[in-house]
Amino acid sequence: MSSTTASPHSLLRQYLTLTKPRVTQLAVFCAVIGMFLATPGMPDPLRLAAATAGIWLLAAAAFSINCLIERETDALMLRTARRGTASGVISSQQVLLMAGILGGMGMLVLYWWVNALTMWLTFATFVGYALIYTALLKPLTPQNIVIGGFSGAMPPALGWAAMADAVPAEAWILVLIIFIWTPPHFWALALYRSKDYVESGLPMLPVTHGKHFTRLHILLYSIALFAATMLPFVIRMSGPAYLVAACALSGRFVWQSLALYRNYSDARARKLFHYSIIYLALLFAALLVDHWIGLLV
């Protein structure tokens, strides 16, 4: 099937899918939280809108390049075989054109309406994810998601830089939280999709070291994540409201990881994967609510 035989509506959906809208939304959400936390009061609405749009555009471009690079392995995996790049509905030239337009627009928006620091940090994140992680790390090492996770953890720093034109220690603590969250999040997916990764030839941890080893590392990372989420309270970046939320959310994360370690099933792995997405969104929302409470008292 070629792009000329697809209906305009269907083709538009295929293009949108390449940007991984759900993942993009979570990344941009974390960036927006960083914008609010970087501002003593309410952030400037125009800069907030421009920074959000610019980061979204570059994230969408990065995910599109990711799909282009992985088109052959995507075609071998049930979860990704319907992507336009994997099925041949969208050509490589079309993806490059779309990514170039989105990325170029994003950089211009960030440079002219935000600041150069945010533009360059976001561009570096684009290179780190789309090229270094996707093209180099992912096919070479089972630690791909650990090493490459730094790029995916950058959104709070990007948001902070957009408002403050600086990236202080508080922003890097938020980056650390996402960095530690990333491996158990993806390994849970890799566990119940392990057959896909066997077919694709990608050296994901359940394939190279087995499911028991992977479950142990998910548990260990979830414990480390619990500790990392305490740091905003420890350095007085946040208050008791965040502490209560972080303990409850991270405690459940550890509990589900422990249950998965003790008694594996695909259903438990799927449940942990879906919870991990909700977990990160709620954790960062708790940071924002606590920030607003601090402004009111």
Domain harbouring 132, CATH code? 1.10.357.140
Residue 153 tokens read as 């953890």
How many angstroms from the chain centroid is the CA of residue 4? Answer: 33
Taking the C-alpha atoms of residue 120 and residue 247, their distance in angstroms, rounded to an integer, is: 35
Domain final residue pick, 137, 165, 193: 165
Same domain, 77 and 115: yes
Q: Are 150 and 158 in contact (CB under 8 A)?
A: no
Same domain, 22 and 130: yes
Same domain, 86 and 181: no
Same domain, 186 and 288: yes
pLDDT in tens, 263-280: 999 999 999 999 999 999
Residue from 121, 152, 122, 156 nearest 283 by CA: 156
pLDDT over 80 at 80, yes or no: yes
The whole-number pLDDT of residue 6 equals 58
Q: Are 98 and 64 in contact (CB under 8 A)?
A: yes
Same domain, 13 and 153: yes
Same domain, 238 and 282: yes
Residue 198 tokens read as 């066997």
Same domain, 136 and 177: no
* Weakest mean pLDDT among 126-140, 214-228, 278-292: 126-140
Domain final residue pick, 120, 141, 165: 165
- For range 179-203, the mean pLDDT: 93
Instruction: Name residue 68's amino acid.
Output: L
Give the range of the structural domain holding residue 146, as residue numbers without chain letter.
1-165
Same domain, 263 and 124: no
pTM of the predicted model, to two decimals?
0.93
The whole-number pLDDT of residue 4 equals 43
The domain total for the chain is 2
The whole-number pLDDT of residue 207 equals 93
The whole-number pLDDT of residue 7 equals 63
CA distances to 55, 57, 221, 277 from 25, in Å? 10, 11, 24, 11
Domain final residue pick, 165, 181, 209: 165
